């Protein structure tokens, strides 16, 4: 991991200024309060507040080799004790050389203060270690939060993509069979159906599009779908649209209507022998757009066991997009099946 | 065996029937004798026209292809035609003479017909195969049962069944509205009814758990079940064991 301030010029300057100020303060106190000679005060301040901080910034690299979560406490303490001792020895030796260079006569005086210097060295080391661990912890926490947020976004995108309607293989193969039949009886119609099916599939497969589209566009797509199904089911499928003007520009999640029509066809039209109306309506209602899709069905036909994948997927998508799975209401009125979507206008 | 096979089509989609008809036109081994657009009509026409071969779609309005097979008096050869159906595929692989996945080619269809021609005459094998086929459901557990009395087909939702009694080759299905007779085996029902809801208490009885009011001992090691409608049914030894397991007593 990067050094918290050596890699940042501004922070490095702050660091230097911080210690310089403390060093100067220390000098002033020693020189004017304790009446220690200027020479000694400068030496003492320099050694503790300049020399140690220069060395101390490297403690960062030491803790990189000794992450707290990886070892047990005894090992950590031992490790840092050894490191602190080595650091101390180097620091004291450098101090000694420095003092010797500046003023030979002070060496003896320094010897006298050795025990307090050693203690100071350990304390400074401990201070650095605690500080750097805190920085380290903060960095990794921030990193983890960022990664988690990224992960959540990725998961959400993946979920949304997975939930978008996938082409039902039953629909696809039956349509292909209709085309196969039309190529013999009516090639123009076959061609038309191939083109419609292609457009439908292209729209369905574009998962990287905008999450929300205008209802107008969704309706075009739905009409394409219904057109294909109408070739299969003929008069049995009778779609009715009651969509108010204001709704046409409503932004709705893409591909959210098609599975509902698919259900209506599967349970209503497919099981019927007579024409069945599939009625879609949309109207604004108190900050929402109310979209409903209704179909009649024969209660004796194959049961819908619980909620099918289609409805469950839509519920999950609504939960992901609007944070509310309750925007989808399903009501089974014995001979009619009604699905209602309440989509926020904003 | 120079005679042509009489063929009937059952498919709810007109275009699918058109395609088959155009494939069959001029085929020297078959003759088309009719077409039906739903399961009810299919049962009626098969029993009436007695075709040799039926092209049968699985998913149809009213009753499915599998349910149709259970209602036939006359058992023709069956070639299934379907677009995509995972349950059905399993059943075909085991028992059907052949199946065509839509869309299929004319050559593929002719190959299926050849297979039928080849296998015909092995009458015993055929009837076995077909009765096995009619014991297939397209889902693990039934949600309805179809029965036929004379000329009418009834659909009984599973919720209405109280208990089932076996009678020779038939079963009697007792519902809230009376009883219906159906040609099928107890084994079929035992394996296609949800064991959480139905228990086999005797060689001759399968009972809905929620209908049981009381279990009475009337001799040493022999029991009867009393249903809510006061019907008493015998419990066999293994049936008692099943009850004990299911009801946990």
Do residue A115 and residue A237 come from a single domain?
no
Residue B130 has pLDDT above 70, yes or no: no
Q: Do B143 and A305 touch (CB under 8 A)?
A: yes
> For chain B, how many structural domains are there in total?
2
* Whole-number Å distance between alpha carbons of A126 and A124: 5
Of A130, A162, A194, which one is at a domain's C-terminal end? A162
H/E segment holding residue B100 = strand B98-101
Averaged pLDDT in 10-residue chunks for chain A of 346 residues: 78 89 89 82 82 85 73 81 90 84 71 82 90 88 90 78 73 92 93 93 76 90 93 91 92 88 88 90 92 88 66 84 86 89 88
- pLDDT for position A71: 63
User: Residues B115, B187: one domain?
Assistant: no
Which chain A residues touch B85 with a CB distance below 8 Å? 170
- Per-residue CA distances from A64 to A61, B24, B98 (Å): 5, 80, 70
Residue B98 shares a structural domain with residue B119: yes
One domain, residues A240 and A326: yes
- Do residues B35 and B81 make contact, with C-beta atoms less than 8 angstroms apart? no
Residues A129 and A206 in one domain: no
More confident residue, A339 or B70: A339
**pLDDT band of B49, cuts 50, 70, 90:** very high
Question: Which tokens in the block code for residue A266?
Answer: 């599967």
Which pLDDT score is estimated for A207? 61
CATH of the domain at A258: 3.30.565.10
Tokens (6 digits) for A97: 């050389």
Position A314 scores a pLDDT of: 85
Q: Are A255 and A164 in contact, with CB atoms under 8 Å apart?
A: yes
A321 shares a domain with A195:
yes
Q: Which residues of B touch A301 (CB under 8 A)?
A: 61-62
Assembly ipTM = 0.77
Q: Which domain-ending residue is among A94, A129, A162?
A: A162
CB atoms within 10 A of CB A76: 16
**Could you tell me if A84 and A107 lie in one domain?**
yes
Any domain includes B139: no
Say yes or no: B118 and B151 in one domain.
Answer: no
> Which residue, among A199, A249, A228, A226, has the nearest Cα to A295 in the 3D structure?
A226
Taking the Cβ of residue A182 and every Cβ of chain B, the question of whether any pair is shorter than 8 Å is answered with yes
Q: Does residue A3 belong to any structural domain of this protein? A: no
Contacts of B18 in chain A (CB under 8 A): 181, 184-185
Is B112 found in the same domain as B18?
A: yes
Task: Verify that B128 and B104 share a domain, yes or no.
Answer: yes
User: How many contacts, defined by CB atoms under 8 Å, are there between A and B?
Assistant: 71
* B135-189 per-position pLDDT tens digit: 666 667 888 899 988 778 888 989 899 999 999 889 999 998 889 999 888 988 9
3-class SS of residue A259? helix
Residues A48 and A196 in one domain: no
Of A179, A231, A273, the CB nearest to B61: A273
Judge contact between B13 and B38, C-beta under 8 A.
no
A2 is a domain residue: no
- Check A174 against B102: CB less than 8 A apart: yes
Question: Is the minimum CB–CB distance between A166 and chain B shorter than 8 Å?
Answer: no
Question: Do A32 and A143 sit in the same domain of this protein?
Answer: yes
Cβ-based contacts of A192 with chain B (< 8 Å): none
Q: Is residue A284 in some structural domain?
A: yes
Distance of alpha carbon A30 from alpha carbon A44, whole angstroms:
9
**Which chain A residues are Cβ-neighbours of B37 within 8 angstroms?**
273
The answer to whether residue A133 is domain-embedded is yes
Q: Which among B111, B133, B155 is the end of a domain?
A: B133
Domain final residue, candidates A162, A183, A210: A162
User: If you write DSSP's letter for every residue of B1-12 in order, what string do you get?
Assistant: --SPEEEEEE-S
pLDDT in tens, B195-249: 999 999 999 999 999 999 999 988 888 899 999 999 999 999 999 999 988 888 8
Query: What is the model's pLDDT at position A254?
Result: 85
> Are residue B60 and residue B111 in the same domain, yes or no?
yes
Q: Choose, out of A300, A305, A306, the residue to mutate when testing the contact with B (most B CBs < 10 Å).
A: A300
Looking at the structure, tell me whether residues A135 and A183 fall in a common domain: no
**Domain of A185, in residue numbers:** 164-344
Assess whether B32 and B120 both reside in one domain: yes
Look at residue B62 in the predicted model and tell me its pLDDT: 82
Helices (H) and strands (E) in chain B, counts: 8, 15
Q: Is the peptide bond before B103 cis (omega within 30 degrees of 0)?
A: yes
Residues B23 and B55: beta-carbon distance below 8 Å: no
The mean of the pLDDT values for chain B is 87
Sign of CA dihedral A292, A298, A300, A302: negative
Same domain? For B10 and B124 the reply is yes
**A20 within domain boundaries:** yes
Query: B151 with B211, same domain?
Result: yes
- Which of A302, A304, A306 is the best substitution to test chain B (most B C-beta atoms within 10 A)? A302
Q: Are residues A245 and A118 in the same domain?
A: no
| Model pLDDT, residue A292 | 95
pLDDT tens for residues B30-48? 999 999 998 999 999 999 9
Residue A75 lies in a domain: yes
B138 found inside a domain? no
Are A201 and A263 found together in one domain?
Answer: yes
pLDDT, position A323 = 82
Residues B112 and B173 in one domain: no
Query: What's the CATH code of the domain at B55?
Result: 3.40.50.2300
Range of the domain at B43: 5-133
Looking at chain B, which residue has its C-alpha nearest residue A169? B84
Summarised one tens digit per residue, pLDDT across range B226-235 is: 999 999 999 9
pLDDT at B172: 94
Domain membership of residue A313 (yes or no) is yes
Q: Specify whether the CB–CB gap between A327 and A341 falls below 8 A.
A: yes
Q: Please indicate, yes or no, whether residues A56 and A182 belong to a single structural domain of this protein.
A: no
Residue B93: is its pLDDT beyond 80? no
Tell me if A233 and B18 make a contact (CB, 8 A cut-off). no
Same domain membership, residue A134 and residue A251:
no
Last residue of a domain, one of B133, B162, B180: B133
Whether B109 is in a domain gets the answer yes
Chain A hits for B63, CB-CB cut-off 8 Å, are none
CATH of the domain at B220: 2.40.50.1020
- Chain B interface test: which of A273, A276, A309 (most B C-beta within 10 Å): A273
């Amino acid at each position: 991991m990067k050094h918290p301030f050596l890699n940042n010029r501004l922070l490095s300057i702050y660091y230097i200024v911080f210690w310089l100020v403390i060093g100067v303060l220390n000098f002033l106190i020693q020189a004017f309060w304790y009446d220690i000679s200027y020479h000694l005060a400068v030496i003492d301040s320099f050694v503790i507040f300049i020399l140690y901080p220069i060395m101390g910034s490297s403690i960062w690299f030491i803790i990189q080799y000794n992450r707290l979560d990886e070892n047990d406490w005894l090992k950590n303490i031992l490790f840092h004790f050894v490191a602190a001792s080595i650091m101390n020895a180097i620091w004291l030796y450098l101090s000694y050389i420095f003092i010797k260079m500046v003023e030979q006569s002070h060496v003896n005086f320094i010897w006298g203060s050795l025990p307090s210097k050693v203690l100071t060295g350990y304390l400074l080391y401990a201070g650095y270690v605690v500080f750097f661990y805190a920085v380290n912890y903060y960095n990794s926490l921030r990193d983890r939060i960022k990664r988690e947020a990224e992960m959540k976004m990725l998961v959400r995108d993946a979920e949304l993509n997975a939930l978008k309607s996938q082409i039902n293989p039953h629909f696809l193969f039956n349509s292909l069979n209709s085309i196969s039949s039309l190529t013999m009886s009516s090639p123009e119609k076959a061609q038309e159906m191939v083109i419609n099916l292609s457009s439908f599939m292209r729209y369905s497969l574009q998962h990287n599009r905008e999450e929300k589209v205008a209802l107008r566009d969704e309706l075009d797509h739905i009409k394409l779908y219904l057109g294909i199904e109408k070739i299969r089911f003929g008069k049995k499928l009778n779609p009715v649209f009651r969509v108010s003007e204001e709704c046409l520009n409503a932004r709705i999640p893409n591909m959210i209507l098609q599975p509902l029509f698919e259900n209506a066809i599967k349970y209503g039209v497919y099981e019927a022998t007579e024409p069945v109306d599939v009625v879609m309506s949309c109207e604004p209602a108190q900050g929402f757009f109310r979209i409903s899709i209704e179909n009649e069905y024969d209660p004796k036909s194959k049961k819908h066991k619980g909620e099918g994948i289609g409805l469950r997927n839509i519920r999950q998508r609504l939960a992901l997009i609007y944070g509310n799975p309750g925007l989808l209401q399903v009501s089974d009125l014995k001979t009619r099946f009604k699905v209602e979507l309440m989509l926020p206008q904003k | 065996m120079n005679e042509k096979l009489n063929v009937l089509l059952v498919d709810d989609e007109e275009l699918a029937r058109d395609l088959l008809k155009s494939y069959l036109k001029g085929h020297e081994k078959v003759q088309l004798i009719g077409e039906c657009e739903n399961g009810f009509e299919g049962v009626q026409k098969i029993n009436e026209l007695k075709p040799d071969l039926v092209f049968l779609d699985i998913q149809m309005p009213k009753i499915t292809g599998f349910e149709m097979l259970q209602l036939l008096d006359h058992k023709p050869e069956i070639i299934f035609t379907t677009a995509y159906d995972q349950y059905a595929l399993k059943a075909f692989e085991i028992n059907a003479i052949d199946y065509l996945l839509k869309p299929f080619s004319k050559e593929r269809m002719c190959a299926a017909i050849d297979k039928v021609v080849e296998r015909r005459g092995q009458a015993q094998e055929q009837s076995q195969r077909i009765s096995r086929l009619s014991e297939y459901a397209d889902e693990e557990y039934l949600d309805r049962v179809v029965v036929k009395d004379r000329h009418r087909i009834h659909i009984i939702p599973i919720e209405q069944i109280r208990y089932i009694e076996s009678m020779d080759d038939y079963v009697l299905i007792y519902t809230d509205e009376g009883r219906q007779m159906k040609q099928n085996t107890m084994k079929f029902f035992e394996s296609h009814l949800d064991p959480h809801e139905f228990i086999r208490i005797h060689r001759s009885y399968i009972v809905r758990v929620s209908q049981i009011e009381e279990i009475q001992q009337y001799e040493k090691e022999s029991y009867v079940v009393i249903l809510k409608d006061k019907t008493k049914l015998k419990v066999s030894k293994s049936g008692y064991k099943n009850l004990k397991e299911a009801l946990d007593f």
